[in-house]
Amino acid sequence: MSIAVVNKNAKRGSTVKPEAESTSVPSPSSAKVAPRDRIVTTACELFRQHGIRGIGVDAIAEAASTNKMTLYRHFGSKDDLVCETLRVTSEKSDAMWADIETRFPDDARAQLGAWVTALSDCLQRESFGCDIANAAVELKEANHPAHAVIENFKILQRGKLTGLCRRTGTKEPETLADTLLLLLEGARVSRQASGLEGPAQCFQRACRNTLNAFGIGTA
Amino acid sequence: MSIAVVNKNAKRGSTVKPEAESTSVPSPSSAKVAPRDRIVTTACELFRQHGIRGIGVDAIAEAASTNKMTLYRHFGSKDDLVCETLRVTSEKSDAMWADIETRFPDDARAQLGAWVTALSDCLQRESFGCDIANAAVELKEANHPAHAVIENFKILQRGKLTGLCRRTGTKEPETLADTLLLLLEGARVSRQASGLEGPAQCFQRACRNTLNAFGIGTA
DNA sequence: CATAGGTGTGACCGTTCGGTAACAAATGGC
DNA sequence: GCCATTTGTTACCGAACGGTCACACCTATG
């Protein structure tokens, strides 16, 4: 398939510098971070960049300045590692929710506005879509262990957003929440297929319009 | 990766029946369809079901009741075959546009309503998202030949929808078109991650609401 | 009937992949 | 210093993959 293969197996040139020779991805800054954490962080990054099927465990281990054996001692299989990265990603989403909550306590409208802003900013910065939705697209095998993680995250995300919409006092909070979710997922996948100049560029405006239509003027 | 491997190499039992032994996917009904067409049709189906990276050329050839050599005589590489399937898929989209045009000639509002209905129906039936957007998610390698096909399709689709919106006489037709595209892409990816009961279920309602907000009452 | 072009067959190549075995080196708590 | 746990290293396995070769077949056309 194509030329681009990321998995450079056995790059061990020379027996001199055993130092981790600056493997592109600088995620865990090689400081005193446990190998397990380095692996998870690096895997998150590489799965995003190359897709889950597009990167091998060898390459992940090497980029994490460790080796395959250590990886397999922490995660019984690549699938396990995939699940763990999805869990970590979903925890990051939890952190964003918590941050919004603390910034605008007891102000559902402001929180909803902040949610749109935060996701819009995220869309500008990162060229890759929702890792979890991407995983769902990529992993078609039914009974893949990741599906449980994906489903769980999506249900929680939907519940949180629906609750937030309900707290704004709008009628049909479920419809509002689902509409916003469709816009978000659409923007993320569209950004991958068409870039920032594509339909994704109107994500924020579309959200504001939707909020207005539901009687929620942005703060 | 997991257990599920679709590529059953060498299933050639016995030297008796050289007949095409009913290979699950019934796409090209084994009638007098040229091998090339059978391959494309089957590849479309299998890429959708298993993902582009999730199915091998061996399995495609076998499911198309032919063999790998014939496949490679028509398509120089798997990447070529991928591009061809994306082209065929985009032609199917063209056919839908033409159908809508003939059903509601010179009635942009009705055409837009029919577009929403058609895509909504499509969403109910097919459990897989937009093949082209899925390909964009799956094929991260820059300079993959499929990216040209994807980009071309997305630009054309956006142009057509924007034109249609403009013909309805609404103000900000670009924003309306992009919003609808985000809802569509979002619904398709959400359907894969969360099923029909997820946010995708409100796709049609969200589109109607959006059309109303832009002053386009549905016919 | 002969010939040519598309097709089928099966073996094969080189590579990558996920995963394991065996053993050496470091690390840290007692 | 001792010992147990954690890492690193290297080689290896079996399978699947994309892709090719040589050769037999079959069918339509002249």
- For residues B168 and B106, the answer to whether their CB atoms sit within 8 Å is no
Span B161-175, pLDDT tens digits:
999 999 999 999 999
Residue A141 and residue B4 in contact, taking contact as beta carbons nearer than 8 Å: yes
Residue A184 inside a domain? The answer is yes
Report CA(B141)–C1'(D18) in Å, whole number: 17
Question: Do the chains contact at B183 and A187, CB–CB below 8 Å?
Answer: no
CA neighbor of A25 nearest in space, from A2, A4, A5, A6? A6
- Substitution target in A2, A81, A144, A149 with the highest count of B β-carbons within 10 Å is A2
Q: What's the distance, CA B133 to chain centroid?
A: 8
For residue B47, the chain A residue with the least C-alpha distance is A140
Residue whose C-alpha is closest to residue A213's, from B200, B36, B213, B146: B213
End-to-end CA distance of chain A, in Å?
50
- Give the Cα separation of B23 and A137 in Å (integer): 25
For residue B12, being part of any structural domain is answered with no
Instruction: Determine contact, residues B176/A209, Cβ cutoff 8 Å.
Output: no
What mean pLDDT do residues B145-154 have?
A: 96
User: CB of residue B144 closer than 7 A to nucleic acid strand D?
Assistant: no
Nearest nt to the CA of B18 via C1' is C8
For residue range A91-132, list pLDDT tens digits in order.
999 999 999 999 999 999 999 999 999 999 999 998 776 899
* Judgement on whether residues B82 and B45 belong to the same structural domain of the protein: no
Same structural domain for residues A111 and A197? yes
Residue in the structure block whose two tokens are 């994490």: A64
Same domain, B112 and B59: no
| Same-domain status, B205 and B167 | yes
A212 touches strand C (CB under 7 A): no
Q: How many CB atoms lie within 10 A of CB A164?
A: 21
Residue A171 lies in a domain: yes
Task: Test A201 with B178 for CB contact under 8 angstroms.
Answer: yes
Question: CA-CA distance, A32 to B15, in Å (whole number)?
Answer: 63
Residue-by-residue DSSP string for B142-175: TT-THHHHHHHHHHHHHHHHHHHHHHTT-S-HHH
Contacts of B53 in chain A (CB under 8 A): 1, 51, 53-54, 138
Residue A99 CA to its chain's centroid (Å): 17
Select from A184, A164, A170, A56 the least CA-distant residue to A120: A184
**Does A9 score more than 90 pLDDT?**
no
DSSP per position, B47-72: HHHH-STTS-HHHHHHHTTS-HHHHH
Residue B63 above 70 pLDDT? yes
Task: Identify which of A168, A184, A175, A180 has the alpha carbon closest to the alpha carbon of residue A121.
Answer: A184
B112 shares its domain with B205: yes
Same domain, B95 and B200: yes
Protein-proximal positions, strand C, CB < 7 A: 6-11, 15-22
Last residue of some domain: B43, B74, B105? B74
The answer as to whether B219 is a domain residue is no
Number of alpha helices (DSSP H) and beta strands (DSSP E) in chain A: 9, 0
Return the CATH number at A59.
1.10.10.60
Tell me, yes or no, whether B67 and B89 share the same domain.
Answer: no
Q: How far apart are CA A4 and CA B129, in angstroms?
A: 26
Token pair recorded at residue B116: 């929403």
CB contact under 8 A, B190 and A202: no
Distance CA B122, CA B188 (A): 10
User: Residue A3: its pLDDT value, please?
Assistant: 40
A137–B192 C-beta distance less than 8 A: yes
The verdict on residue B19 lying in a domain is no
Residue A188 in any domain: the answer is yes
Q: Are residues B59 and B122 in the same domain?
A: no
With the CA atoms of B132, B138, B144 and B145 taken in that order, what torsion angle do they form, in degrees rounded to the nearest 10?
-20
A32 confidence band (pLDDT: 50, 70, 90): confident
For B210, counting Cβ atoms within 10 Å of its Cβ (0-12 exposed, 13-18 middle, 19+ buried), the class is buried
Contacts of A158 in chain B (CB under 8 A): 194, 198-199
Residue A15 inside a domain? The answer is: no
Which positions on strand D lie below 7 Å from a protein C-beta?
A: 6-11, 15-22
Q: Are residues B64 and B132 in the same domain?
A: no
Q: pLDDT of B6-38, one tens digit each?
A: 543 333 333 223 333 333 444 444 457 888 999
> Same domain, yes or no, for A112 and A169?
yes
Last residue of a domain, one of A18, A50, A74: A74
User: B172 and B125, same structural domain?
Assistant: yes
- Calculate the average pLDDT of chain A: 87
Cβ separation B194–A78 shorter than 8 A:
no
Phi, then psi, of A139 in degrees rounded to 5: -100, 90
Measured between beta carbons, the chain A residues lying within 8 angstroms of B212 are 213
Tokens of B70: 């014939």
| Protein-to-nucleotide distance from the CA of A154 to the C1' of C16, whole angstroms | 34
Query: Residue B16: which residues within 8 A CB-CB, separation 6 or more?
Result: none
pLDDT for the residue B214:
96
Domain assignment present for residue B21? The answer is no
Its domain, for residue A58, covers 35-74
Contact B90, B153 (CB under 8 A): yes
pLDDT of residue A218: 64
| CA of A47 vs chain B CAs: smallest distance (Å) | 10
Residue with tokens 């895997």: A43
The string of pLDDT tens digits covering residues A154-195 is: 999 999 999 999 999 999 999 999 999 999 999 999 999 999
What the block records as the tokens of B110 is 């009705």
Q: Any idea what the CATH number is for the domain that residue B116 is in? A: 1.10.357.10
Question: A43 to chain B, minimum CA–CA distance in Å?
Answer: 15
Is strand D within 7 Å of residue B77 (CB)?
Answer: yes
Number of H helices, E strands in chain B: 9, 0
The number of angstroms, rounded, from the C-alpha of B119 to the middle of its chain's C-alpha atoms is 11
Residues A157 and A108 in one domain: yes
Q: Which nucleotide is nearest to B78 (CA to C1')?
A: D18
**What is the total count of domains within chain B?**
2
**Contact at CB, B138 and A186, closer than 8 angstroms:** no
pLDDT at site A15: 27
- In angstroms, the CA B64 to CA B66 distance is 5
